[in-house]
Amino acid sequence: MTDSIGTVPIAVLRDLHRRMVRIRLFEEEAGKLMEGGRLPGFLHLYVGQEAVGSGVMATLRDDDVITSTHRGHGHAVAKGANLRYMYAELFGKETGYCKGRGGSMHINDLSIGMLGANGIVGGGIPHAVGAAFAAAYKGQDSVAVSFFGDGASNIGAFHESANLAAVLHLPVIFVCENNGYAEFTPQERHMLLRDVADRAAAYGMPSEIVDGMDVVAVYEMSKKLVERARAGEGPSLLEAKTYRYYDHQGVKGLRIPYRTQDEIDLWKERDAITAIEQRMTKANLAGEMELQKVWDETRAEIVEAIRFAEQSPDPDPADLLVNVYTV
Amino acid sequence: MTDSIGTVPIAVLRDLHRRMVRIRLFEEEAGKLMEGGRLPGFLHLYVGQEAVGSGVMATLRDDDVITSTHRGHGHAVAKGANLRYMYAELFGKETGYCKGRGGSMHINDLSIGMLGANGIVGGGIPHAVGAAFAAAYKGQDSVAVSFFGDGASNIGAFHESANLAAVLHLPVIFVCENNGYAEFTPQERHMLLRDVADRAAAYGMPSEIVDGMDVVAVYEMSKKLVERARAGEGPSLLEAKTYRYYDHQGVKGLRIPYRTQDEIDLWKERDAITAIEQRMTKANLAGEMELQKVWDETRAEIVEAIRFAEQSPDPDPADLLVNVYTV
Amino acid sequence: MRELTYVKAFNESLMQAMAEDENVVVIGEDVAHYGGVFHAFDGLLKTYGEKRVIDTPISEMGFLGMGVGAAARGLRPVVDLMFFDFIGVCLDQLYNQAAKLKYMFGGDVTVPLTLTTAGGAGLSAGPQHSQSLEAWLAHVPGLKVALPSSPHDVKGLMVAAIRDDNPTVVVLNKRMLGTKGPVPEEIYAIPFGQAETVRSGNDVTVIGVGRMVNEAVVAAAELAESGIDVEVIDVRTVQPLDSNTILDSVRRTNRAVVVHEAVTFAGIGAEISSQIQEEAFDYLDAPVLRIGAPFSPVPFSPVLERAYIPDSHRIVDGVRHLLERQGA
Amino acid sequence: MRELTYVKAFNESLMQAMAEDENVVVIGEDVAHYGGVFHAFDGLLKTYGEKRVIDTPISEMGFLGMGVGAAARGLRPVVDLMFFDFIGVCLDQLYNQAAKLKYMFGGDVTVPLTLTTAGGAGLSAGPQHSQSLEAWLAHVPGLKVALPSSPHDVKGLMVAAIRDDNPTVVVLNKRMLGTKGPVPEEIYAIPFGQAETVRSGNDVTVIGVGRMVNEAVVAAAELAESGIDVEVIDVRTVQPLDSNTILDSVRRTNRAVVVHEAVTFAGIGAEISSQIQEEAFDYLDAPVLRIGAPFSPVPFSPVLERAYIPDSHRIVDGVRHLLERQGA
Ligand SMILES: Cc1ncc(C[n+]2csc(CCOP(=O)(O)OP(=O)(O)O)c2C)c(N)n1
Ligand SMILES: Cc1ncc(C[n+]2csc(CCOP(=O)(O)OP(=O)(O)O)c2C)c(N)n1
Ligand SMILES: [Mg+2]
Ligand SMILES: [Mg+2]
C-alpha cells in the first residue's frame, strides 16, 4: 500500500477530491434553485469541469491571483471562497460577495486572490497579466492564473494578453478550459485547430495539454507550470480538455440539441469525481465512508449556506450609489 | 540570353520595376513637399518597402481587393492609383481621392480594388476578410489581400480576422510587411517570435516567408498564394522581411536614434530597386537607358501630378457635411 | 391585425428582407444553427442556408469589421452583437470605420451595414449585460440609431435599416422580447428620423426612448384620471432625431419630459432637452425634465434594479412635479 | 512664475508623482525608450528605469486591461493611449472593467488607474486622429474625466488623477502641447469637480471645455471692447461636473453659452445646457447656446478643418446673438 497516486500524496488527493465535491454540490444546488425559479439572472454551471479548477487551484497560494469568466463559480469555490457569500450573491443579497450588485458572473474575493468572474469574454485575461505585473513589480513570487474557454481563445484580448505576458516575461499561466463549445458552437466551427495549446507558439510561450477529467494530471501539470512561473521563467499555456454537463446557461439543454446524448454520456463516463474516488478506493487510499463523509459535510455546509443566503437582507434601494466611486 | 529571371518573364519584370520606381519617386517627392512645409498632417513613407507592395500587386487583378495601413501610399501606387489624385489628397484638395477629407492615411480607389489606407492599426484587416467574403458570396474568384506591419500582428483585430478567414475558408492573403519596428519599438521588444509567419499556425493557415527586398521572390510567392486562394483553397499568411528607410512618420529620424546608421546602410545596400535593375542589366533584360526612361517618365508624371494637385481648388467650407451620409 | 411578439417581429423583418434582397446576409455568434440566444434568428438558417446565415467565433471586432468590408463590396450584412454591453470590444469598427468610410474615402464607398443588438435592463442580467448606450452612438456622425418600442416598430425599423445605404444600429430591448402587438404581414419600412406621436395631449409632452415609451403611455393613462392630458412621443430613432415633431408638440403643451433607460448624465435626454430649450425657449412654462437611471452601473439585485430603472411611477411624479411648479 | 509648455507640465506631473509614490508606473506604446510620440514621457525611462516605464506592443485592450489588473493589485498605473481616437479598440476595459469593478465586485477592489490620451483637432491629423470623445466617458458611472486647458491645469489635474483611487482619464489637447504658461515647481493637485472661473463678468457666462476655454477668453476680450462683460468658466473635469459654479454664475448673468470641440449633437454641452435650464430656468433670459463642431467627422483639409473647429469668432457671434435675442 502506497500513500500517493504517482507523485501526489494522499493529503493532496483528499484536498483535490474535496474541492471537486464542493464545486459539484454547489453547482447542483444552484441549478435546482434556478430551476425552482428562485434565482434571478443567468447561471453558467461548471459541473463537469471540476477537475480543472480544483487541480489548478490546489497548486496556488492565497496570494496567487486568478481571473475567471462567466462560468466562474467553480473557480471561486476551488480557490476557497465562502459558500454563504456565494449563494447570497446568487440571490442578489446584501451579504453576497458583490453586495448583490454583481450576481453570478462577478463573484470575487480578493482576500484569497480571486480577482473575479467576468461577463465579458476575454475581459478578465488582461487582469491576470496585470496582477502578475504587480507581483513581479513588488518583488513577490506570486503568480497569476487566467481561466478562459476554447471560445475565448478567439477574441483579441486573449491574443494581446498572451503576447504581453510573453514580452514582459510575467508569471502568468493561461488556463484554457476546452469544453468543446463556445455557447452552442462546437470547436470545429470556431477554429481550425484541434488544440488551443498550439496557439501558445504564436507568442513564444510553452504549452501543455492535459486531460481535464483527470484531476491528478491537472494538478501535476499545473504544479509544474506554476513552479516555472514562480521561478521567474515566464508565462505558459495549459489546455485542459473537459466538458460541461449542463447547458451553456441554466440547467437543461434548450430545445435546440447542439450536442448528442451519446457525447454527453461518453464524457460522464469519465467523470472526474467518480474517477478519483475509484482510484483512491482501489489504491486503498480512502474508504467509501471517508469519501461519503466529504459529500455529507459539504451538503450540510451548503444547506447552511443557502439558508444564510435566503435569510439575508436584500440591498437597500437607498444605497443605489454605494461603491460607484471610492470616496 | 533568356527573357526571364527564374520563371518571371520580362514583361512582368518591367512591370515590377516600374511599380517600384513609381512608389519610390512618389514618396521621395512627398517627403520633400512635407519637409518644405507644404503638406498638412502626417506622412508615413513607404520607401524601402517597394518590393513588397509591387510584388504582391503585380499578382492581383483590379477586382482583387486590398486593404492597407497608415503607410499606404505604396500600396495605392502599386495597385494603380492615379498619382494626381493621390497628391491632391496629400494637399487636402477637393480633387483628391478623399476630396480632401481623409488625407494621407485614407487614400482609396475602389475602382481598382484599393479599399483604403487606414489610420487605426489593424482597422483594415477585417475589411479584407469582408471583401473576400463578398467575393465568395457572389461566386466571383477574386481575392482580398490585407497589408499590415509586424507591430500590427500584436493587435486583437489581426488575431480575430485571421481566425475568421480560416474558419470561413475565405480567399484572403494576409501580407505582413515586417520592417522590424512598430514605430520606434524594435520587433524583439514587441514579440518574442522572429517570424510573424509562425503565427499563421495558430489559425491552421499556411504561411510563407519571403525576402521583401527581392521583388521577384515576393512576386513568385504572392502568385502562389493568390492562386491558391483563387482556387478556393483558403487563406494564407505571407511575411516579407523589409525595411523602411525614413522615419516612422515624416522623413528624418527624430532626435532619438532608435536605429543605427549601420543597420540602415546595410538594408540600403540591398535596395530592391537597385537589385532588380542590376539583375535585369546583368541578364541583358534591360539596358541602362531603358531603365532610366522609367525614372524619367515617372518623374515627369509626378511633376505634372504635383502641379495638378497644387492648382486644384481647396474644398468649399460650405460642403462640410458632404458625404457624412448617403442620401 | 395579427399579433406577433417583439422578437418574432424582428425575426420576420429578417425573413422578409432576405427574401427581398439576396445581398442581405446575417452574421453573428450562434445566429445560424442555434437561431440566436434570444431565438431572434430562428429559422433563418433553414430558410436561407449556411451561405447567408453565418455563425462566427467570439470575435466581435473581426466579424463586425468583416461586415464593414462586405458592405463596402456590395452586400447588406446584418451583424449581430449579442448584448449592447459588448460594444466596447468592437466599437472601433463602428465609429472609426463603418461610420467614417464614406466621408473619409471621398464618397466612393457606402457601408449599408446593420448592427443589431439587445440592450436594456430588467432581467437581473447584471452590470455587464444590461446597459443602454445609445447616447454614444448618437454622437457619431455617419451612424443611424433606432430603438424600437413595439413589435410593429421593430419590424419596420429593421426593414428601413437594412434598406438604408448608411450604417445603422437597431437596439432591441431585451425585456420586450416577449411583448405582443399588431404587426402587418407584408414587408414595410418605418423611416428613420420620424418620431411617432403615440398619444395626443395638451398639458405636457413626454418624449420616450425605446421601452420607456410604453412606461410613458401607462403614466399618461394614470395621469388622465387626474385630468392631466399627456402627449407621448416615441422618438423611434435617436440619430437622426426628429426634432420637429418634438418641438411642434412642446410649443403646444409648453412642458416637456424626456425619459430613457440610460443613466441621465450625458444621456440622449440631454440632447433632446437642450434642443427643446434652444428652439422652444419662449414656449416653455417649466424646465424640461429628464428622467433616466441614476449614475451607477445597472445593479443585479432585483430590488435594486427595480429602483434603478425609470418607470411609469417616476414619469407620473415627474409630470405632476412639472405641472405644480411655480415660476420665479 | 516659471513658465512651462503644456507637454512639459504633463511630463513634470509624472516625474513628481513617480517620485512621490513608487507604485506609480507608466505603460504605453513608445513611452519608455522613445519618450512618447509627443515627447510627453521624455526622461521618465532615464529617471525611473525599465521597471517603472514600460513600452508595450500595439495591444491597447491588453495593456489597458493589464493596467486595470495591476491597479486592482495595488499599483497606480498611468496607461497611455496615444490618440483619443483609438479608444474604440480598448473601450471595454475602461467602462466594463475599470469603471465597474469596484461596484460590481461589492466594493473590495479599487482601480486607481489613470488613462492619459491626446484628443482634439487642428493638426490636419484627419478623421481618425482628431476626435473629442469626452461625452462618451462622462456617461460612464465610475469614471472621472479631465480636459486640462493650460499647462498649470495639466500638471494639477494629472497629479489629482494619479492620486485618485478611482479610474481617471486625462485628455490632453494635441494642439496645446507647445502652449506655454506659468506652472508652480512643487507638486500640487487640482481637485476633480472644481471648475475655475477664468474671467469674471456679468452679462453672459461662457462655459468652456478643454482648449475651447482659451478661445472663450479671446472672445471675451473682443466682446469687452463692445462693452459686453463675459464670465468664462473652465469646467476642467466633465465627470464629475462642477454644476454649482456654473449655476451660480448663470443665475447672476442670466445667459449661458457652452463651447466644446466635439460635435454638438449629444456632446457634453448637451448635459451642461440641460442642467442649466433645469436648475436655473427662472434666471434665464435666453436659451442656453451650445457651440460645438458640426455633425461630421473631422476633415483633413486645413480649409475645412478651420471651418469645422469652434473658435473665438463663433463664440463672439454666439454671445452677440444671445444678447440681441428678443423673447416671445
Ligand atoms: C465579448 C463577448 N462576446 C460574447 C459574449 C457572450 N458569451 C458569453 S459566454 C460565451 C461563450 C464562451 O465560450 P468559451 O470561452 O468556450 O467558454 P464556456 O462557456 O465554454 O465555458 C459567449 C459567446 C460575451 N459575454 N462577451
Ligand atoms: C490602434 C492603434 N494603436 C496605435 C496606433 C499608432 N500607430 C500608428 S502606426 C504604429 C506602428 C505600426 O507598426 P507596424 O504595424 O509594424 O507598421 P509600420 O509602421 O512599421 O509600417 C502605431 C503604434 C494606431 N494608429 N492605432
Ligand atoms: Mg467552451
Ligand atoms: Mg513595422
C51 touches chain B (CB under 8 A): yes
* pLDDT at residue A252, as a whole number: 83
Kindly state the average pLDDT of the residues C247-262: 98
Kindly state the average pLDDT of the residues A178-206: 98
Residue nearest to atom 5 of ligand 1 (CA): A121
pLDDT tens for chain B, 327 residues long, are 568 888 899 999 999 999 999 999 999 999 999 999 999 999 999 999 999 999 999 999 999 999 999 999 999 999 999 999 999 999 999 999 999 999 999 999 999 999 999 999 999 999 999 999 999 999 999 999 999 999 999 999 999 999 999 999 999 999 999 999 999 999 999 999 999 999 999 999 999 999 999 999 999 999 999 999 999 999 999 999 999 999 999 998 656 789 999 999 999 999 999 999 999 999 999 999 999 999 999 999 999 999 999 999 999 999 999 999 999
CA distance C236 to C192: 8
- Ligand 1 site-directed mutation target among A68, A181, A183, most atoms within 8 Å of CB: A183
Is residue A79's pLDDT more than 70? yes
Is residue D328's pLDDT more than 60? no
**Strand partners of residue B186:** B181
Is the CB of A186 inside a 6 Å radius of any atom of ligand 1?
no
Q: Measured between CB atoms, which of B120, B130, B144 is closest to C67? A: B130
Comparing alpha-carbon positions, the chain B residue that sits nearest to D300 is B101
* pLDDT at residue A229, as a whole number: 98
Query: CA torsion C39→C45→C51→C54, rounded to 10°?
Result: 20
Phi, psi of B176 (to 5 degrees): -90, 115
The angle formed by the CA atoms of residues A52, A55 and A56, to the nearest 5 degrees, is 85
Q: Which chain A positions have a beta carbon within 8 Å of C88's beta carbon? A: 120
Is residue D217's pLDDT more than 80? yes
CB pair distance less than 8 Å for D142 and A97 = no
Q: Which residues lie at CB < 5 A from ion ligand 3? A: A 149-151, 179, 181
The answer for residues whose C-beta is within 8 angstroms of residue C23's C-beta and 6 or more apart is C74, C75, C76
Kindly state the average pLDDT of the residues D10-20: 98
pLDDT tens digit string along A261-318?
999 999 999 999 999 999 999 999 999 999 999 999 999 999 999 999 999 999 999 9
Counting from 1 in the atom list of ligand 2, the atom nearest the Cα of B149 is: 15
Comparing alpha-carbon positions, the chain B residue that sits nearest to D122 is B41
CA distance C324 to D220: 39
Residues in chain A: 327
CA distance C128 to A126: 17
Catalytic residue positions of D, numbered = 60, 129
Counting from 1 in the atom list of ligand 2, the atom nearest the Cα of B178 is: 16
CB A134 within 8 A of CB D112: no
Task: Kindly indicate the confidence band of residue C327, based on its pLDDT and cuts at 50, 70 and 90.
Answer: low
- ipTM of predicted assembly, 2 dp: 0.98
pLDDT tens digit string along A81-108?
999 999 999 999 999 999 999 999 999 9
pTM greater than 0.80 (yes/no): yes
Per-residue exposure over B141-151, b if at least 16 CB sit within 10 Å of its own CB, e if not: ebbbbbbbbbb
- DSSP code, position C95: I
CB C81 within 8 A of CB C131: no
CB pair distance less than 8 Å for B192 and A166 = yes
Average pLDDT, chain D: 98
Residue found under cell 491571483: A65
* pLDDT at residue B3, as a whole number: 85
* pLDDT at residue D132, as a whole number: 98
CA distance D73 to D93: 16
| Poorest-pLDDT segment among A190-204, C30-44, C97-111, D314-328 | D314-328
* β-pair type (C3-5, D289-293): unpaired
Beta strands in D179-236 (DSSP E): 180-182, 196-199, 204-208, 230-234
Q: Measured between CB atoms, which of A93, A154, A320 is closest to C58? A: A154
The answer for residues whose C-beta is within 8 angstroms of residue D305's C-beta and 6 or more apart is D121, D122, D124, D130, D298, D299
Task: Kindly indicate the confidence band of residue C217, based on its pLDDT and cuts at 50, 70 and 90.
Answer: very high
Residues in chain C: 328
| Residues near ligand 2 (Cβ within 6 A) | B 70-71, 119-121, 148-152, 179, 181-183, 248; D 29, 58, 60, 82, 86, 89
Catalytic residue positions of C, numbered = 60, 129
Q: Which chain B positions have a beta carbon within 8 Å of D133's beta carbon? A: none
Beta strands in chain A (DSSP E): 4-5, 8-9, 65-67, 144-149, 172-178, 181-182, 185-186, 207-211, 236-241
Is residue C328's pLDDT more than 60? no
CA distance C21 to D99: 43
Phi, psi of D284 (to 5 degrees): -80, 125
Residue nearest to atom 17 of ligand 2 (CA): B149
* pLDDT at residue B254, as a whole number: 57
pLDDT tens digit string along A231-273?
999 999 999 999 999 999 999 865 678 999 999 999 999 999 9
CB C210 within 8 A of CB C132: yes
Task: Kindly indicate the confidence band of residue A220, based on its pLDDT and cuts at 50, 70 and 90.
Answer: very high
CA distance D40 to D73: 26
Ligand nearest to the CA of A70: 1
